Structure 1
Amino acid sequence: MDAPTLTTLAIAAVVVALAALVLAIGSQRRLAQVRRDFAALGGDGTTDIARVAAGQNQRIDRITAEVSRLREHVASAEEDVRQSLRNVAVVRYDAFGDMGGRLSFSAAIVDDLGDGIVLSSIHARGESRTYAKGVVGGRSSITLTPEEQQALSSATKDEKGRVPARTKDAS
């Protein structure tokens, strides 16, 4: 072989060697990235990807079960809150024309469904009387005075002035 052919072959060999070197460096970087990703998944270098994936699936299953359990607790807590007597309204008034100071009052204490009690205290000069009337679904089986009805209406409205809907299972 002559010198120009050997030179061309040598240059070609150098180009192929450089291309192989670039590919090897790229492969090494990609392998390092895959190892970092594998370690982030929980692999320790001695475990295969199938075991790591199975471990991740078990963790996901445990988290899913925990989320379901927490949802049940939240639903139970929401139901407890709906049934708590937390809506209160008081109306003060003068029951008799000769008395001042609005010493009489009617107070409604109900849950979110409108179940609870209306208390009224009527104050006169020589005596005071207190009455309690049960309320179910925002209504009483005993006739309510206008003041008692006003207190009940105020207690059963939400912050936007709407009366909460009664659910089927709470009746």
Structure 2
Amino acid sequence: MSEALAALALLVALAALLMVLADRRGRRRSSDDAPLPEDVRGLRQEVAALRREGADALRHLSVVRYDAFSDMGGHLSWSLALVDDAGDGVVLTSIHGRSEARSYAKNVTGWTCEQQLSPEELEAIDATRP
């Protein structure tokens, strides 16, 4: 008799567990299908707009320092690449010599440049690729 009661108690407990799980699953589905509150919808739109704006930001940066002349040490010359997600931006280069320094700016479009790039400038652009 006690074995029968134990089996019956086990079946009742199993049935109760199945009912609880089914109820939770039903609640989860109904909450997923429910319309979003207006403020949540607005926040999602703002996040999407910020992501679109961020794609145009010059957020990829790389600096390459080097000695432009064999008689100069200290890596005083440098090339700086600033580009957005599409590879559009600018490369700034400063070449330091003993008596003068020269600076150059070159536009970058789609990871390439219309002007000839030095190996250091190419290295700076390549290092910015995500």
TM-score (norm 1): 0.54
After TM superposition, give the deviation of residue 69 of structure 1 in Å.
2.1
Please give the secondary structure, in 1, of the residue aligned with 2:82.
strand
Q: Identity of counterpart residues, as a percentage?
A: 47
| Aligned partner letter, 2:123 | Q
Q: CA–CA distance in 2 between the matches of 1:101 and 1:130?
A: 18
1:38-53 equivalent positions in 2, closer than 5 A:
none
Q: Which one of the candidate residues 39, 52, 55 is aligned to 1:82?
A: 55
* Alignment correspondent of 2:76: 103
Report runs of 4+ in structure 1 exceeding 4 Å deviation. none
Segments of 5+ residues of structure 2 without an aligned counterpart are 1-33
Structure with the higher helix share, 1 or 2 = 1
Higher relative contact order at CA 8 Å, sep ≥6: structure 1 or structure 2?
A: 2
Q: Which one of the candidate residues 120, 126, 129 is aligned to 1:153?
A: 126
Query: Structure 1 residue 136 and structure 2 residue 102: aligned?
Result: no
Query: Structure 1 residue 92 and structure 2 residue 65: aligned?
Result: yes
Structure with the higher strand share, 1 or 2 = 2
Please give the secondary structure, in 1, of the residue aligned with 2:40.
helix
Q: CA–CA distance in 2 between the matches of 1:92 and 1:127?
A: 17
CA deviation vs aligned residue, 1:59-111 (integer Å, no higher than 9, x gap): x6571x33332222111100111111111100000000111111000000111
| Aligned partner letter, 1:86 | R
Q: CA–CA distance in 1 between the matches of 2:68 and 2:123?
A: 15
TM-score (norm 2): 0.70
| Count of residue pairs the alignment pairs up | 97
